[in-house]
Amino acid sequence: MESYHYGLLGFLILLGLIAVRIPIAFALALVGLGGMLWLSGPDATFALMASQMYSSVANNTLTAVPLFLLMGYFAYHAGLTRACFDTARLWLARLPGGLAIATVAGCALFGACAGSGVAAAGAMGRVSIPEMLRYGYDRKLATGSVAAAATLAVLIPPSIVMVVYAILTEVSIGRLLMAGYLPGVLSALVLMAMIWVRVKRDPKLAPDVPFEITWSQRIASLKDVWGITILILLVLGGIYSGFVTASEAAAIGAIGAFVLMIAAKQLNRATFKDSMLETARTTGMIFLLLVGASIFTGFMAISGVPQKLAEIIVEGKLSVGMVLLIVCIAYVFLGMFLDSISMMLLTLPVLLPVLKQLDINLIWFGIIVVKLVEIGCITPPFGITVYVVKGVVGNTVPLEDVFRGIWWFLAMEILTLLILIFFPQISLILPDTMLGKG
Amino acid sequence: MKRANQRLEVLAEWMALIGGFVVFLLMFMVAIDAIGRKLWTALPGALEFSEALMVPAVFLPLMFIQMKREHVFVSAATTQLPIRKQALLDGIAALVGVVVFGLLTWLALDKAYQAWVVGEYRVALISVPIWPFRWLIPLGTGLMVFQLLLTAIEEFQRAFGDEEPSGRVI
């Protein structure tokens, strides 16, 4: 047997272990350790492991992960989800399907303060779904808009998934975050346009809201979101101008969110403790996966599987398009079972040499992967935000309806994905014109 | 037994809280360093310290995460199995964790001891001691291994006990 055979065998064993409920971090570490012991013996393996525990964690660029998490939890406790929805509602409610459109806009706005959509799905769902149902909105439209729009937080920076991708592929975190802004805005606009068109054609889906909104109310509502605007500009402007690195922007953004939490009089023992515990929990969870992945990646590299795969693709003269198609299908499939970060940990170490061989722009590819991950968050049977929304609505809307409500949104997400694949400029224009090196 | 469990829960939660609070401190340190560097001068040793602070932020919460059973796993392939079988698999999974992270804990302990003996530090504007942070790795993983042992016992009891096990929603 050649060494890459052991690599392939290891990969299959890994999938088997994951299928029988072994936590992914444990499975990665076990197979990685076993494989390395087999291929390079105990002395080299143990020496590498002992130093890797420290080095795969204590790295300056990695501080962006806990700091963006902290920023998100502070923003959540500052009540920014509600503020985002309330303002969007006043500005957009008069449009056809206005409350659903406002939900999408509110989620996009909140996504610019938080790195993950799960918290947003819960918070936004509690605010906007009862409001939509009260005015007679279709249940599928109401729940679907929250479940789909909450995932925008994954694409709109800050984004934990993006930071993890950047770490795994060694691209600049700042550049990747910048690349996410326009695709994020595009995704939001596509979702809003779809709601508008559908309600235009079938007004029963979303009856007009009966209340009048004056311009003075609209202007007044802006005072609730000035803090958010400054927060977004600080992070966006800081990274774009090259004034700060991604980690520094995360720290400054977290302080900004903390100040907003104090200003909203939401800082107390319970919210502070919850922010600390949630940050610790998610940080530990993500990094244990990363530690496991670094061990597994070490084994994969020694076994030569990634290089072999790259050779096969070059010999088979597979085009970039073919490879992308395979990647898309694989991710949609994996997205049915795996969470976003595990999905990247399993695939990227093997894919990376292939991508480099084909000279694929890793920032652009990153945006496509993140978009695919986002789609994975809403695809049945295990779309995470769908279950969060279901948890919020309780028994008022059956699970089948929540999933049925997703289809239109899913179709739009796939449309946006295609646009992003065919027009790489949308992703690349911001990072390419950045002043800093990121 | 019940009281011992409560104490363990308090311990796990405190470790996680410390981990979270370290991130809170890290936030100020990174921000002050970033702004200070542009306007006046860098915070001495901030870069080196911020890297070292990642260690408690990552490893101290591990016991709490295991206690809450929040390490990411896939249940899709096994949801149809009877609860006793699922519990058996979860017990085995915990033992796998014990073996792997037990080994890693031992390796990390050895590394921490070596770092302590030579007084490992990093040279910056001020010298930043690294060796105390090295001890936090085996502390965090060791406590997780201990919690994993408890998980294994609990799951095997569920799998083989006389009492019909109840389903758990995770």
Share of chain A above pLDDT 90, in %: 56
Nearest Cα residue to A248 out of A234, A228, A230, A227: A234
Nearest to B65 among A21, A22, A281 (CB): A281
Judge contact between B61 and B22, C-beta under 8 A: no
CB of A241 within 8 Å of a chain B CB? The answer is no
Pairwise CA distance, residues A64 & A275, whole Å? 16
Query: What is the identity of the amino acid at B23?
Result: V
| Cβ–Cβ gap B100/A69 under 8 Å | no
Three-state secondary-structure class, residue B127: strand
Judge contact between A389 and A125, C-beta under 8 A: yes
| Cβ–Cβ gap A69/B23 under 8 Å | yes
Judge contact between A182 and A423, C-beta under 8 A: no
Q: How many CB pairs under 8 A join A and B?
A: 196
Pairwise CA distance, residues B89 & B155, whole Å? 8
The pLDDT of residue A285: 92
* Residue A38 CB-density burial (10 A; 0-12 exposed, 13-18 middle, 19+ buried): middle
CB of B170 within 8 Å of a chain A CB? The answer is no
The pLDDT of residue A371: 94
Provide the terminal-to-terminal Cα distance of chain B, rounded to the nearest Å.
24
Nearest CA in chain B to A61: B51
CB of A243 within 8 Å of a chain B CB? The answer is yes
CB of B27 within 8 Å of a chain A CB? The answer is yes
Per residue in A7-37, pLDDT tens?
Answer: 999 999 999 999 999 999 999 999 999 999 9
Token look-up 């796998």 returns B96
Please report which confidence band the pLDDT of residue B167 belongs to, taking 50, 70 and 90 as the band edges. low
Residues of A in Cβ contact (< 8 Å) with B57: 66, 280, 283-284
Pairwise CA distance, residues A153 & A236, whole Å? 15
Beta bridge partners of B123: B127
Per residue in B88-146, pLDDT tens?
Answer: 999 999 999 999 999 999 999 999 999 899 888 887 778 888 899 999 999 999 999 99
Q: To the nearest whole angstrom, how far is the Cα of A273 from the nearest Cα of chain B?
A: 7
Residues of A in Cβ contact (< 8 Å) with B111: 50-51, 53-54
Region for A87 from its dihedrals, namely left if φ exceeds 0, alpha if ψ lies in -120 to 50, beta otherwise = alpha
Nearest to A26 among B47, B96, B111 (CB): B96
Nearest CA in chain B to A235: B31
> Can you read off the two tokens belonging to residue B33?
């360093």
| Cβ–Cβ gap B58/A33 under 8 Å | no
- Structural Rg of chain B based on CA atoms: 20
Please report which confidence band the pLDDT of residue A199 belongs to, taking 50, 70 and 90 as the band edges. very high
* Residue B39 CB-density burial (10 A; 0-12 exposed, 13-18 middle, 19+ buried): exposed
Three-state secondary-structure class, residue B128: strand
CB atoms within 10 A of CB A271: 17
Pairwise CA distance, residues A326 & B46, whole Å? 44
> Can you read off the two tokens belonging to residue A304?
């030569």
